[in-house]
Structure 1
């Protein structure tokens, strides 16, 4: 596994290898922390063409002397260096390569792969955009595709789409308006499902806290397939106005027709809940408004299904409806919201 982590941190993984590392990171917070620390080491220097072996890196590092403290360390968004600083960058990159080897070497997992075969490496440098709670973002790709990212979500994508597919990685919720290209399909990878299209408009909801990945289509057609252990196990086609879920431990649900515009109210600040447990309702409100909600009552109420449409963007009005629906009162102090039963209630 350590060699695979090394390839992941240095952006030299194939698509299936990336999936393996990301699933491993989701298994344990300590795994994710390790990879993030390694990524910090690797991103200490600006971008540079770096095609040297680790042995070369070690040899160069040993025979050169780095004078004076290093300052103005760049973070993840790298920029190209001038020719005058190229040697220093190469030395620092070499040091990062050595540190990376040392850190990863502490781990004894073995990378299990098919003997005698190696997938074509996926070497485009990835970019990542994340939204915080209460935020949304819009990304426009060079092919004309536009993605609207909901709150508390992230999208990972290459600087340029190369090869036979346009592939991105989503955690959270996003609405895609995919530019048509009959020769190059567009694929959205999530933890449980892959969504593949040629050109269409659709919504994907894939938060890690949720037990399902939801896909709804506004225009065109999309193919939804499960993605476990690098294999596609099940597949359905969705057309305009259709919806499905890929449920953890169950697979793909039956396709059903929906009012797509209601499911896309979030694009304009609204919210729509269709037979959703209160605990999921609270999660979505927390993401949208950057608040924390607690309930001083039995946990059974969190499983009660709730259906409502909110076109108004005001949190206070949404809380009033929830309060009446649960027959509870609420109090708010800053970003903390608590629902509770009045003392005189039965």
Structure 2
């Protein structure tokens, strides 16, 4: 890790447009490294509040859109280049984690200065086969699972809220004066400061919230009305069943439901049908099955850093299946 004064200079030069080519590479490199993200986030906020990058000096040299476009453009160029090289082979390891979305920090902090009335919303998407890590403007840490979308805003005086479709793990920055709300299409998760996982994919029949630390309160959302709010304690999970509009709360091993952010897969009596959906999201592949009766098979296991081909080879040894790889597709049939 570079010294803090070096980081300040790299980010400052990049933001106000005085970076040379090497400096731009260093800045983008800082934004892309997940380890750097958590280390430098406080430095970023201090920097934006300092005289070096005060609103006036930034505005004189670059309009807001020009700064944001520059950051997006550089990260997209690097991301597209990496993606092109990766798609040449199907073996996609869990080490493939999306570039850190530190852009959200810049957008959020700038919006405090430029938009101090109505909240401004920004949308982040994590493609299938990737995991995105980001820091929200209030310093809340979010891991966004593959195939997920998060919309968020920064309202300096009101509540902190995000809108989730898909799956995300949150480490919410404590703020007793402003609660944090995760809106899903079916219910809302209300917190003050805690760690929890929310899974709310549109295609899944179950929507779940798993609490690791703190307390959360589940309240009615757009498509589902609760008779009364449900409060979760650490180690509890609330599951909403879309098919019959039922909810249940149970004790769980929370690691099973947040292991994905650590590049692990944990399966406990999981059906092949559920497993296929999970593998498609994690590895960015399409899986087809010829014999529908195979979907009822169940599997227990733990994977970490295996490629999709290695996972399929292990499943082949355990279940009565064969598989064939065609580009980014996997075809499964009965053995």
TM-score (norm 2): 0.61
Specify the alignment match of 2:332 in structure 1.
339
CA distance 1:252–1:236, change in 2 (3 Å): farther
Choose which of 262, 285, 290 in structure 2 pairs with 1:291: 285
Counterpart in 1 of 2:253?
Answer: 259
CA shift, 1:322, in A, is 2.5
Task: Label 1:79 to 1:333 Cα distance change in 2 as closer, same or farther (>3 A).
Answer: same
* Shift in Å, 1:231: 4.8
Alignment gaps of 5+ in structure 2 = 1-63, 68-116
Q: Which runs of 4+ in 1 moved over 6 A?
A: none
Is 1:212 the counterpart of 2:229? The answer is no
- Residue of structure 1 equivalent to 2:143: 148
Cα drift, residue 232 of structure 1:
4.7
What's the offset of the Cα at 1:233?
4.1
Bigger proportion of residues as helix: 2
Tell me, yes or no, if structure 1 residue 277 matches structure 2 residue 271: yes
Aligned to 2:324, the other structure's residue is in SS state strand
Separation (CA, whole Å) in 2 of partners of 1:223 and 1:305: 33
Of residues 233, 240, 261, the one that matches 2:234 is 240
The root-mean-square deviation of aligned C-alpha atoms, in Å, is 2.2
Asked whether the equivalents of residues 192 and 227 of structure 1 are also in contact (C-alpha less than 8 Å), the reply is: yes
Distance in 1, matches of 2:229 and 2:244, equals 13
Please state how far the C-alpha of 1:264 moved relative to its aligned partner: 1.6
Match of 2:20 in 1: none
Partner of residue 102, structure 1: none
Among candidates 163, 167, 177, match of residue 161 of structure 2? 167
1:6-155 to 2 correspondences below 5 Å? 78-79=65-66, 123-155=118-150
Q: Take 1:291 and 1:197, find their aligned partners in 2: how far apart are those partners? A: 35
Aligned to 2:110: none
Taking structure 1 as the reference length, the TM-score comes to 0.59
Would the alpha carbon gap of residues 137 and 217 (structure 1) be closer, same or farther in structure 2, given more than 3 Å must change? same
> 1:318 offset after TM fit, Å?
1.7
Q: Which residue of 2 aligns with 1:314?
A: 307
Q: Secondary structure at the match of 1:195?
A: strand
Match of 1:329 in 2: 322
Q: Distance in 2 between matches of 1:234 and 1:324?
A: 48
Aligned residues: 223
Name the CA shift for 1:198/1:132 in 2 (closer, same or farther; >3 Å).
same
Q: What's the offset of the Cα at 1:78?
A: 4.2
Tell me if the contact between 2:126 and 2:147 (Cα under 8 Å) persists in the aligned partners. Answer: yes
Q: Is the 8 A contact 1:227 1:233 kept in 2?
A: no
Note if contact 1:145-1:176 (Cα within 8 Å) is conserved in structure 2.
Answer: yes
CA separation of 1:233/1:338 partners in 2, compared to 1, >3 Å: closer, same or farther? same
Displacement of 1:165 in angstroms is: 1.6
Higher RCO (CA-CA < 8 Å; seq separation 6+): 2
CA distance in 1, matches of 2:198, 2:178: 20
Max Rg structure = 1
